[in-house]
Each structure stands twice: as C-alpha cells, then as structure tokens.
Amino acid sequence: MIAAIATRVWARQAMAANGLARRGLSTTSGGLAVEVYNPSGEKRVVVTKMLPGTRWLDILTKKLGARVEVLTDAKYAPTIVPNSAIVDLIGDKCDGVLGQLTEDWSAETFGALKQAGGVVYSNYAVGYNNVNVDDATAANIAVGNTPGVLTETTAEITAALTLAAARRVVEADEFMRAGKYLGWLPDLFVGKLLQRGTLGLIGAGRIGSAYAKMMVEGHYMDLVYFDKFQNQKLEDYMKGYSDFLESQGEKGITCTRVDTVEEVLSASDVVSLHPLLDKTTHHLINKERLSIMKDDAILVNAARGPVVDEVALVAHLQANPNFRCGLDVFEDEPLMKPGLAECPNATIVPHIASASLWTRGGMATLAAQNISAFLQGQPGYDSQDMTPFVDGPFDAMPESCPSIVNMDSIKRN
C-alpha cells in the first residue's frame, strides 16, 4: 500500500518536473507500475523512463495512435532499469520500445521484443554503444538514435568543465561554502589561463567541432586535432576565423591535423575527448599517454567513460597536483574508481552533458518519431537538420524516421 502510494507520488513529481501536463492512467504492467496514455491505442509502445516535454507523447499517441506505457515504478525511478524489468514490461505484445543509454539492449532484450512482435527500438541518446546493433538486426529490429540535438549542449558542458578545471571553480566554491575565506590572497586558487594556449581534440566530429569553435573563438587558442578523417569544414572555418582576427590587427590562430594521439597530447594545454566508444577508443587515454601530457594540462571527457583508463587517471591526478580533469562520464557508471572522489584536481559531474531542457525534449521527440514513423512504414530522413522535427509546426513534421542506424539491413512488410 505504502509502496503504491509512493509510486503514484513519484510519478506525479516526475511528470511535474518534466512539464508533462496530462496525466496517464496509473496501473501495472508485467507487475510494474506504469502510466498509460491513450489506453485504447492499437499499437503498444513501451517507454522505460518518463521523458521531458509533451511533443514525444503527442507523436506516439496522436500521429501513431498507439497505447503508450511509461515505466513509473518507484523501484527503478532513480536508477538503471535491469533487463528482467524490461522483459517484464515488454510482455506478450509490444510494437516498439523507447529506452535509455544505461540499458543493455542486446540478445535478451531484443529477443523479448521480437517475441512480442516488436520491430523498432529507439535509444534516447545519440551514442548507442549500449546497443548491440547486430543482435537487433538479427531479430529484424530497427534501431534509432537522436543525433543533431545534443551537439551544442554537450559542447557547452565540455567548455564548462574546461573552465571549471582551469580556474578551480568547484574547489573554490567548496572553500567558500565551508566558511574558509578569510580575505583576498595572492595565491588563493591560482589556476591556468587558457588565452592563446593550445587546444587538443581527439575526435573532431559534430561535438568536438562545436566545442573547438567555442574555445578557439572565446580564448584565441591554437587547435591541434587527431581524427581518423580530415575535417575540412572545421579547418576552413578556423582559417576564416584566423583571417578575420588578422584583419582586425590581431594575431591569428592555427589549426593543425596531426597523425597521432601522442602529438595532440604532448602539444596541448587542454585535451578534450570526443570520439565514439568502440574497440579503437577503449582506454585510448592510458598510463603511458597521460605521462606525455604537460604537467599542468587539463583533460576533459564528455564522450564515454571507458575512453579513459580511470584507474590510471586517478593515479596520475594523485601524482600530479597541477594536472586537472573535467569528467562528465565514468568507466563504471554510476560508480567512480576508488580515489577519484577525493582528488581535488578532478571536476566531476553525473553525465549531464545533454541535460538542457531543449535538448532533452528534442531527444524525446526524435526517439518517439523514429518509432512512430518506422511503425507507419515511413522512410529514413535525408537531412542532418533535425529542427523540422523538434521546433517546426507539429502538423508539418517530416513524415520520416529521423535516424535509424540499421535501416538498410531491415526487412519491412
């Protein structure tokens, strides 16, 4: 009884926090508390966490006309939903699932979805390293993701972590709150100036490029990058910016693509990681590579935790007090490796890089539209501009799937 009341209270709080004005029907599904919208809908779509905004719900209930069941069970509210609960939630009949990057989408969960007649899963994230796409494809299940709405938001947190680490903002905040400030001192929280320093990027895709523009334009930094591919657009942009600076009588900046990770590490005052996580980038930053970075360098990771060997990083932070890092992601999320929390030279936030209201609402819209459009037999979208889905009129939304990563491998009826 108490648990049931707690569940309802939590569900209402979550809806209020998410700006979800409409109430669903509180009931249970597979033994789990859910909130049901459009109960008489013919298709059934399951959503494993309540999402921000209402556009996503309108897409699923009005455009698709589906019954939508959102998991609101208090047991899983603040934490990762395990496979067993996902399988229970999918039940006997489920056409599609909208799930989270913290969940394990592989043979077991895709098997349950296929068994229930499901044909589409959409990740509420741009990265999909939690999804075994081969397992999905083997089950003939389409996999969606949400590119194009996380870029600037993630770049902004990367810039925030860089500045916080460089200028020791969190340490100073804690000091102030602890009542330790007794007066201005010449050596109180002396940090690192970024102006005219060197910025290193590993992975110069969408987010890396957006972050580089913020840092280079804001702090006149020279840019060095390593990527498997040349980013000509970024290089042209930086050349144009440098020409502009020179036209204003200021010193220009440089942008250089280098052949190795090591060249970025040894040259840079700030190194920011923006590759996707795969076999080639697992522990890309390790003990040896940390040792070639400048003693007072800043390492920022808002990509994926396992890109950094976190044990090696803790040892490096402990041995080099002037070395700093800014981390949004962790190797064993939600856990941290022993010692990290005690390092004053680490600025750490709980995977909030995409947590702006516009982005989280946009992600929900894209993930829902992937499911709705796919179930209606609509094609893939032929542009990278996601604004018609996210900001355009509801009735003029493109009739296509924003991003299905295995579209070409799926057989459709």
Ligand X SMILES: NC(=O)c1ccc[n+]([C@@H]2O[C@H](COP(=O)([O-])OP(=O)(O)OC[C@H]3O[C@@H](n4cnc5c(N)ncnc54)[C@H](O)[C@@H]3O)[C@@H](O)[C@H]2O)c1
List of residues contacting ligand X (CB under 6 A): 126-127, 150-151, 154, 202-208, 226-229, 274-277, 280-281, 302-304, 328-329, 351, 353-354
Q: Which is nearer to ligand X, 36 or 161 (CB)?
A: 161
Active-site residue flag, 152: no
Closest residue to ligand X in the complex (CB): 205
Return d(Cα 87, Cα 32) in angstroms, integer. Answer: 11
Instruction: Tell me the H-state helices in 116-200.
Output: 133-138, 151-166, 169-177
The least distance separating ligand X from the CB of residue 261, rounded to whole angstroms, comes to 7
Instruction: Give phi and psi for 366, each to the nearest 5.
Output: -65, -40
CB of 127 to ligand X, least distance (A): 3
Minimum distance from residue 344 beta carbon to ligand X (Å): 23
CA geometry: angle 216, 223, 300, nearest 5 deg: 80
Q: Residue 121, Cβ neighbours under 10 Å: how many?
A: 28
The DSSP result for 237-286, as a single string, is HHHHHHHHHHHTTS----EEE-S-HHHHHHH-SEEEE-PPPSTTTTT-B-
Residue 333 falls in the annotated catalytic set: yes
Residue 402 · residue 146 · CB < 8 Å: yes
Distance between first and last Cα of the chain: 45
Backbone torsions φ then ψ of 98, nearest 5 degrees: -110, 110
Q: How far is the CB of 355 from ligand X (least distance, A)?
A: 8
The DSSP bridge pattern shows strands 346-348 and 324-327 to be parallel
* Alpha carbons 308 and 299: distance in angstroms, whole number: 10
Q: Could you say which of 304, 316, 324, 360 is catalytic?
A: 304
Nearer to ligand X, 208 or 402 (CB): 208
Tokens of 247: 């036209």
- Residue whose CB is less far from ligand X, 205 or 361: 205
Cβ-based nearer residue to ligand X, 207 or 390: 207
Of 261 and 297, which has the nearer Cβ to ligand X? 261
Of the candidates 108, 156, 333, 399, the residue annotated as catalytic is 333
- Minimum gap (Å) between residue 103 Cβ and ligand X: 15
Least distance to ligand X from the beta carbon of 50, Å?
Answer: 18
CA distances from 29 to 51, 78, 90 (A): 19, 19, 9
Q: Which of residues 198 and 231 has its CB atom nearest to ligand X in the complex?
A: 231
Known catalytic residues are 304, 333, 351
